[in-house]
């Protein structure tokens, strides 16, 4: 099979070329006339070529889909699911962030993809069943087509777990009340035409209202973590590594470190044991790269069979949810460089906000004691006792 290549665009301008190498790897090279800076933290433009010995460079790997969408797109394009470059050549015109991938203009024309659930020319990373969507002329959410904008992500229940949409909706509402609305991605729920299902709809913060692309990189991309077998690479790190990313790349280090500290505590309070590297990102702002709003917030502790340890390690240890307490996070805060005064204030402020947000997770009168909201609230209450009480 002939070695393939792709044009790499940054904000729709050609920045370089990605080519397969004879030994099974790939090489990304900036174009000689590209002088607009780095397209990614892990691809500094001061180094004009970046080679991966096996497959795609992790930055490009993590642009591709996982799980349900990967299956849909691979089937529609008649390529194997393991073909990372093949998927991006077919669906990489609109990826999360400012980087996009297209076949070279002098290459063979690829067959057109028409299936709505494959979102032709577009992709979004993540395991959960999700699609890029837009609004039609009647204001309905529909799968994004190959042209036009796609300012929303629709996230659906899985065949195995029928409460994911309800769970994430409640988790986001509570997190927004505790952290502040601007700290959490904008969200709603709606029916999605052509899919015939109700979804959680989240607004893309990597797109301006004008459609302009904003740079957005998750921490797996920034650390250059290969996706690994069964996508395990995003768990191969520590929360201290995310703090180190913020110290190195954020334009407002003290503020973003404190935001990260608050967010990690809230994720633990809510029973979110799946806050891995891809669930923390840096977003382009007028002042530089900043910690993005929170997203993918789910109370995973609700589900039997899910790992109840925090996704990444703290102080070299994997922490079980029930073992995470105030001492855990005080030590972590000091380790990442926060002053004791800021740590003290964080716990006081979070306790106040949790009390104000109590009504959001108050169970309905008619719900049985083992109902969804009762169990959700019990997890949050137990975590608050361990973490927020002195």
> What is the structure's pLDDT at 125?
67
What's the distance, CA 133 to chain centroid? 17
Q: How far apart are CA 374 and CA 44, in angstroms?
A: 49
> What is the structure's pLDDT at 194?
78
- The reply to whether the predicted model has a pTM over 0.85 is yes
What phi and psi, each to the nearest 5 degrees, are found at residue 196?
Answer: 60, 50
Q: Which residues of 279-300 are buried (b: 16+ CB within 10 A; e: fewer)?
A: bbbbbbeeeebbbbbbbbbbbb
Q: How far apart are CA 222 and CA 98, in angstroms?
A: 14
The yes/no answer on whether domain 216-387 falls in CATH 1.10.1070.20 is yes
For 31-40, 105-114, 307-316, 372-381, which range has the lowest pLDDT when averaged over its residues? Answer: 105-114
What mean pLDDT is predicted for residues 274-298?
98
What mean pLDDT is predicted for residues 174-200?
94
What mean pLDDT is predicted for residues 152-169?
92
- Counted residue by residue, the chain has a size of 390
Residue 305: band (very low, low, confident or very high) from pLDDT cuts 50, 70, 90: confident
pLDDT digits (tens, 9 = 90+) for 319-375: 999 999 999 999 999 999 999 999 999 999 999 999 999 999 999 998 888 899 999
pLDDT digits (tens, 9 = 90+) for 11-67: 999 999 999 999 999 999 999 999 999 999 999 999 999 999 999 999 999 998 887
pLDDT digits (tens, 9 = 90+) for 132-141: 999 998 899 9
CB neighbour list of residue 132: distance below 8 Å, 6 or more residues apart = 94, 119, 122, 123, 124, 143, 144, 150, 152, 153, 154
What mean pLDDT is predicted for residues 137-158?
89
For 54-58, 90-94, 145-149, 310-314, which range has the lowest pLDDT when averaged over its residues? Answer: 145-149
Dihedral (Cα; 189, 195, 197, 201), 10-degree rounding: -10
Three state DSSP letters for 239-274: HHHHHHHHHHHCCCHHHHHHHHHHHHHHHHHCCCCC
Q: Would you say residue 236 has pLDDT above 70? A: yes
Q: Would you say residue 117 has pLDDT above 70? A: no
Q: Would you say residue 111 has pLDDT above 70? A: no
Q: Report the chain's mean pLDDT, rounded to a whole number.
A: 92
Are 150 and 132 spatial neighbours (Cβ–Cβ below 8 Å)?
Answer: yes
> What is the structure's pLDDT at 116?
44
What phi and psi, each to the nearest 5 degrees, are found at residue 286?
Answer: -60, -20
Q: Would you say residue 216 has pLDDT above 90? A: yes
Are 6 and 18 spatial neighbours (Cβ–Cβ below 8 Å)?
Answer: yes
Measured CA to CA in angstroms, residue 68 lies from 157, 188, 204, 217 at distances of 11, 22, 20, 22
Query: In a 3-state reduction of DSSP, which class is residue 345?
Result: helix
Q: Would you say residue 295 has pLDDT above 60? A: yes
Question: Pick the residue with more confidence: 295 or 78?
Answer: 295
Give the single-character DSSP code of 43: S
């Amino acid at each position: 099979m002939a070695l393939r290549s792709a044009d790499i665009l940054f904000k729709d301008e050609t920045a370089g070329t990605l080519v397969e190498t004879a030994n099974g790897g790939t090489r990304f090279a900036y174009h000689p006339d590209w002088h607009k800076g780095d397209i990614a933290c892990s691809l500094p433009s001061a180094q004009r070529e970046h080679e991966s010995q096996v497959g795609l460079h992790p930055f490009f790997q993590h642009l591709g889909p996982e799980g349900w969408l990967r299956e849909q797109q691979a089937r529609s394009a008649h390529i194997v699911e393991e073909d990372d470059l093949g998927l991006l050549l077919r669906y990489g015109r609109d990826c999360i962030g400012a980087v996009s991938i297209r076949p070279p203009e002098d290459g063979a024309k690829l067959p057109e993809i028409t299936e709505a659930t494959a979102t032709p020319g577009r992709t979004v990373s993540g395991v959960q069943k999700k699609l890029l969507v837009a609004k039609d002329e009647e204001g309905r959410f529909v799968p994004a087509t190959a042209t036009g904008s796609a300012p929303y992500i629709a996230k659906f229940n899985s065949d195995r777990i029928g409460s994911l949409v309800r769970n994430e909706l409640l988790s986001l509402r509570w997190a927004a009340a505790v952290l502040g609305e601007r700290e959490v991605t904008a969200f709603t729920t709606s029916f999605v035409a052509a899919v015939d299902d109700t979804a959680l709809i989240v607004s893309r913060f990597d797109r301006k209202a004008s459609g302009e692309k904003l740079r957005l990189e998750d921490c797996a991309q920034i650390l250059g973590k290969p996706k690994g077998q069964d996508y395990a690479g995003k768990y191969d790190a520590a929360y201290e590594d995310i703090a180190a990313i913020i110290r190195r790349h954020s334009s407002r280090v003290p503020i973003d470190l404190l935001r990260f500290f608050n967010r990690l505590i809230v994720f633990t309070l809510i029973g979110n044991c799946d806050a891995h590297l891809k669930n923390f990102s840096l977003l382009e702002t007028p002042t530089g790269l900043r910690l993005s709003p929170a997203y993918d917030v789910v109370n995973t502790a609700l589900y039997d069979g899910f790992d109840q340890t925090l996704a990444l390690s703290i102080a070299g240890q994997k922490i079980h949810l029930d073992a995470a307490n105030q001492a855990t996070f005080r030590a972590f805060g000091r380790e990442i460089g926060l002053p004791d005064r800021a740590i003290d204030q964080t716990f006081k402020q979070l306790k106040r906000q949790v009390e104000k947000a109590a009504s959001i997770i108050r169970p309905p009168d008619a719900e049985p004691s083992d109902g969804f909201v009762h169990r959700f609230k019990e997890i949050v209450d137990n975590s608050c006792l361990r973490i927020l009480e002195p």
